[in-house]
């Protein structure tokens, strides 16, 4: 997700080391074991919004980002090459995110192309640290080479501009999942909290899902309406994913996945990748954030007017205002509450991680950026998860679902001729 000027910025700025820091009151032996498991595991993160600023020509993933803020919205950075190294992440899905405004302005596809190009350029610039990956086998190879896989997922199905040939071009460029909507309903799919127009997926939307199955591009149900979730599960012959969503039973938010859908995902072979955003994880945090946003709105509006020509000045003024107005934020163990719930309802084979780094305004207490990912491993170990279970959550579940989607694609390509290759809705 992305949102405008944020609260609680200060939470993420009190950071100066990139070591995996042992949590307070942790058992040192258990912590050491957690780090060893974490190091051995293939770790895949379903969603990272760093490509949005990467389209700036001056952007370099090698530049340390601790303590830096996104100039577009004042939110803290969570990602850079040294933080990747500290995180232990093997495969990162770089989010090719296209906002509803960009779509409405008719610039969805060029914006997606800019971000794909920016992702390629960072990989070309840092071949020692990064490698471009498009298959499950690539990810396993990257682990052996000690590199981070750059994978890509489109966020906002309108990026294909209602064209299946464009969908295929995105696949050829390396895109391996597509979130069918972002926050707005569009021509062929309804979004989670927008007015429905298609009763879920339109006929063309259903064709998009079938074509994604045939290609081996995974269908992502984060951000879509409940009806779209059900439609996708009715149609998809390949495992699906929720790249960055939580369990609705623990926080009744439209961005989260209801239990009946979790049960169907278990049958489908898919995976729900838990989002780290505290307001999706926790109703109390969501309420506290909303209350504080409402309370500070007059002051925020005044600051925006005062600093309308001074982005840096605005960010600094907002930071001070936020520091003076802290609110409740749940801690990182809440991430594992959601993993526990999905494990109970769908099973241990259907849960993963989808941080939403650099797309959320703040992270759970105790977590400053991707370098703190081992906290999740530690908390699973502390709750009695076995190493096998932990490795499933960290990456093996996604790898299994991804490899299965590749297999379905191979079968599908033998069945389908070129019919419909120019299909496009009006």
Interaction site with Zn ion (CB under 5 A): 1
CB 218 within 8 A of CB 229: no
Q: Which is nearer to Zn ion, 171 or 280 (CB)?
A: 280
**Cβ atoms of residues 100 and 183 within 8 Å:** yes
d(CA 354, CA 244): 4
Which residue bears the tokens 């350029």?
A: 121
What is the number of other CB atoms lying within 10 angstroms of the CB of residue 235?
18
Q: How far apart are the first and last CA of the chain?
A: 29
- Between 1 and 43, name the residue whose CB sits nearer to Zn ion: 1
State the nearest-atom distance from the C-beta of 118 to Zn ion, in Å. Answer: 18
Q: What DSSP line would sit under 67-110, residue for residue? A: T-B-TTT-PBP---HHHHHHHT-SEEEEEEE--HHHHHTT-HHH
Residue 271 or 317 with smaller CB distance to Zn ion: 271
Distance separating alpha carbons of residues 308 and 321, to the nearest angstrom = 17
Task: Please report how close the Cβ of residue 228 comes to Zn ion at its closest, in angstroms.
Answer: 15
Q: Answer yes or no: are the C-beta atoms of 53 and 70 closer than 8 Å.
A: yes
Smallest gap from Cβ 244 to Zn ion, in A, equals 6
CB nearer to Zn ion: give 1 or 218: 1
Phi–psi pair at 198, nearest 5 degrees: -120, 5
Of the pair 1, 346, the CB lying nearest Zn ion is at 1
Nearer to Zn ion, 77 or 357 (CB): 357
Cβ within 8 Å of residue 414, ≥6 positions away: none
Owner of token pair 């601790």: 66
Nearest to 28 by CA among 304, 343, 278, 382: 382
What SS3 state is found at 247? Answer: strand
Q: Give the residue with the Cβ less far from Zn ion, 78 or 126.
A: 78
Closest CB 79 distance from Zn ion, rounded Å: 15
Minimum CB–partner distance for residue 11 and Zn ion (Å): 20
Closest residue to Zn ion, judged by C-beta, is: 1
Q: How far is the CB of 420 from Zn ion (least distance, A)?
A: 30
Q: What's the closest the beta carbon of residue 333 comes to Zn ion, in angstroms? A: 23
């Amino acid at each position: 997700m992305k949102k405008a000027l944020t609260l609680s910025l200060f939470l993420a700025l009190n950071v100066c080391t990139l070591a995996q820091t042992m949590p307070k009151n942790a058992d040192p032996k258990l912590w050491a074991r957690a780090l060893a498991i974490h190091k051995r595991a293939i770790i895949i993160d379903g969603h990272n919004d760093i490509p949005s600023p990467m389209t700036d020509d001056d952007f370099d993933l090698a530049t340390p980002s601790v303590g830096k803020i996104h100039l577009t919205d004042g939110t803290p950075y969570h990602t850079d090459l040294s933080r990747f190294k500290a995180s232990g992440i093997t495969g990162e899905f770089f989010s090719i995110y296209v906002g509803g405004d960009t779509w409405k302005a008719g610039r969805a596809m060029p914006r997606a192309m800019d971000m794909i190009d920016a992702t390629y350029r960072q990989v070309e610039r840092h071949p020692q640290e990064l490698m471009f990956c498009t298959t499950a086998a690539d990810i396993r190879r990257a682990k052996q080479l000690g590199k981070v896989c750059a994978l890509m997922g489109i966020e906002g199905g309108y990026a294909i501009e209602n064209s299946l040939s464009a969908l295929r071009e995105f696949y050829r460029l390396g895109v391996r999942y597509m979130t069918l909507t972002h926050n707005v309903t569009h021509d062929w799919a309804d979004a989670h909290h927008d007015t429905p127009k298609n009763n879920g997926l339109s006929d063309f939307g259903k064709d998009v899902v079938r074509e994604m199955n045939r290609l081996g591009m995974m269908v992502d149900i984060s951000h879509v309406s409940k009806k779209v979730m059900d439609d996708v599960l009715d149609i998809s012959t390949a495992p699906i994913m929720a790249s960055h969503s939580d369990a609705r039973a623990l926080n009744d938010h439209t961005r989260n996945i209801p239990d009946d859908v979790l049960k169907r995902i278990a049958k489908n072979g898919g995976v729900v990748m838990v989002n780290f955003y505290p307001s999706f994880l926790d109703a109390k945090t969501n309420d506290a954030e909303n209350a504080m946003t409402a309370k500070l709105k007059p002051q925020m509006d005044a600051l925006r007017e005062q600093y309308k020509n001074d982005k840096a000045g605005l960010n600094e003024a907002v930071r001070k205002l936020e520091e003076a107005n802290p609110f409740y934020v749940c801690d990182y163990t809440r991430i594992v509450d959601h993993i526990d719930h999905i494990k109970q309802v769908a099973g241990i084979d259907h849960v993963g991680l989808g941080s939403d780094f650099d797309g959320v305004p703040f992270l759970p207490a105790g977590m400053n950026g991707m370098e703190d990912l081992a906290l999740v491993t530690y908390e699973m170990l502390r709750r009695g998860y076995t190493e096998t279970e932990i490795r499933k959550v960290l990456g093996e579940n996604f790898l299994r679902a991804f490899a299965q989607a590749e297999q379905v694609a191979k079968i599908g390509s033998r069945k389908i001729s070129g019919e419909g290759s120019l299909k496009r809705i009006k």
